[in-house]
Amino acid sequence: MKRRNFILLSLYSGAAISLPSFGCSTGNSVAYKPWMQPDLLSHICDAKTLKEIGAAYMQKFSAKNNEKQLMDSVLTESDNKILPASSEDAVIHSLLEQKIQRDFEIGKTVVVKGWILSETEAQQCALFSLTQN
Interacting residue ranges for another protein, rule: CB under 8 A? 12-13, 40-41, 43-45, 100-101, 103-105, 107, 109, 111, 113-118
What would the DSSP string read from start to end of 26-84?
SS-SS---GGGS-HHHHHHS-HHHHHHHHHHHHHHSGGG-SHHHHHHHHHB-TTSPBPP
Q: Is the dihedral of CA 103, 104, 106, 107 positive or negative?
A: positive
Q: How far is the CB of 55 from another protein (least distance, A)?
A: 15
Of the two residues 30 and 119, which places its CB atom closer to another protein in the complex? 119
- How is residue 128 annotated by DSSP? H
Of the two residues 27 and 107, which places its CB atom closer to another protein in the complex? 107
Measure the CA–CA gap between 73 and 125, rounded to whole angstroms: 13
**Residue 2 and residue 27 in contact, taking contact as beta carbons nearer than 8 Å:** no
Of the two residues 30 and 38, which places its CB atom closer to another protein in the complex? 38
Q: How far is the CB of 21 from another protein (least distance, A)?
A: 16
Of the two residues 23 and 38, which places its CB atom closer to another protein in the complex? 38
Q: How far is the CB of 118 from another protein (least distance, A)?
A: 6
Q: How far is the CB of 116 from another protein (least distance, A)?
A: 3
